[in-house]
Amino acid sequence: MNSTRRKLAIATWGPPDEGNIYGKLTVDATELIKFMEHVRQKTGEKVTVTHMVGKAVAMGLAKAPGLNGRIAWGTYIPHPTVDITYLVALEDGADLAKVKIAELDKKPVSAVATELRARAEKLRKGQDSEFEKSKGMLKLLPSWLLRPIVKLTGWLTGALGLSVPALGLEAYPFGSCIITSVGMLGIDEAFAPHTPFARVPILVLVGSVKETPVVRDGAVVVRQQLTMTATVDHRFVDGFQLATVAKTIRATLENPWDLQP
């Protein structure tokens, strides 16, 4: 799958501190809010906008396999599954951890919410053994030594797919996308910088849902609007693929009723 465009992009840029694409997508959240309430009543699980965005992104990546992968030895290699990572705040925001949901595109949204909630609770209670091991390493090493070690372990796990159980590191630890919510912090929208050791093609920030005046059928009406932003590694993507993902995200969130609760 190394097209001429991809080979040129890989040769042109280093890791994503250079060639980034920034994008913003605003969708009508009216049906989304209704669907989330429907899922809560039907399953008893509190499904949030962040869960729904993760589902929509996963479905988009499934349709754009050129984004769902990794770069190793100057070559793009697709992942066999669509795995999405959510960031989880710990200690009242003083620390961050991550939860990777495997094959998210194939899971009902209530199952995604259940899995994320259960694993986030383990993290907050200090019961996640992998995270505790990795945190121990971070605390012990000085910053000047941590930088090359984090870079090396990121390459070993994220590019080569090696696991280092002794350090609490799994293969492809972040999947193909990292999602975090800034809307829950009261922020309408923001952009995130790439984290080089994560080695993911795309970062998505979920903003707040706001009542906004929009034009519908020539008239100004007030609708619930959700804004998401993305930071994308240009080595992975061109406009066509990104448009495919964006269209799928919009269609899924604005018309969610075909999804499995």
Q: What is the mean pLDDT of residues 215-227?
A: 92
Longest dimension (CA), the chain: 62
227 vs 169, which has greater pLDDT? 227
**Residue 16 reports pLDDT greater than 70:** no
- Using pLDDT thresholds of 50, 70 and 90, give the confidence band for residue 95: confident
pTM surpassing 0.85?
Answer: yes
> Cα–Cα distances in Å, from 151 out to 88, 121, 154, 156, 211?
22, 29, 5, 9, 43
What pLDDT digit, counting tens, does each position of 42-90 carry?
Answer: 999 999 999 999 999 999 999 998 899 999 998 999 999 999 999 998 8
Rounded mean pLDDT, 196-214: 92
Do residues 194 and 16 lie in contact, with contact meaning Cβ atoms separated by under 8 Å? yes
Query: Above 80 in pLDDT, residue 170?
Result: yes
Q: What would the two tokens of residue 46 be?
A: 């509190």
For residue 239, is pLDDT > 60? yes
The reply to whether CATH 3.40.50.2300 applies to domain 4-121+174-182+246-258 is no
Residue 256 burial (10 A CB sphere; 0-12, 13-18, 19+): buried
Q: Where are the beta strands (DSSP E) in the chain?
A: 20-28, 69-72, 75-78, 84-90, 95-101, 177-181, 202-216, 219-233
Average pLDDT, the chain: 89
185 falls in which pLDDT band (50, 70, 90)?
Answer: confident
The answer to whether 259 touches 252, Cβ cutoff 8 Å, is yes
Nearest to 56 by CA among 239, 182, 158, 204: 204
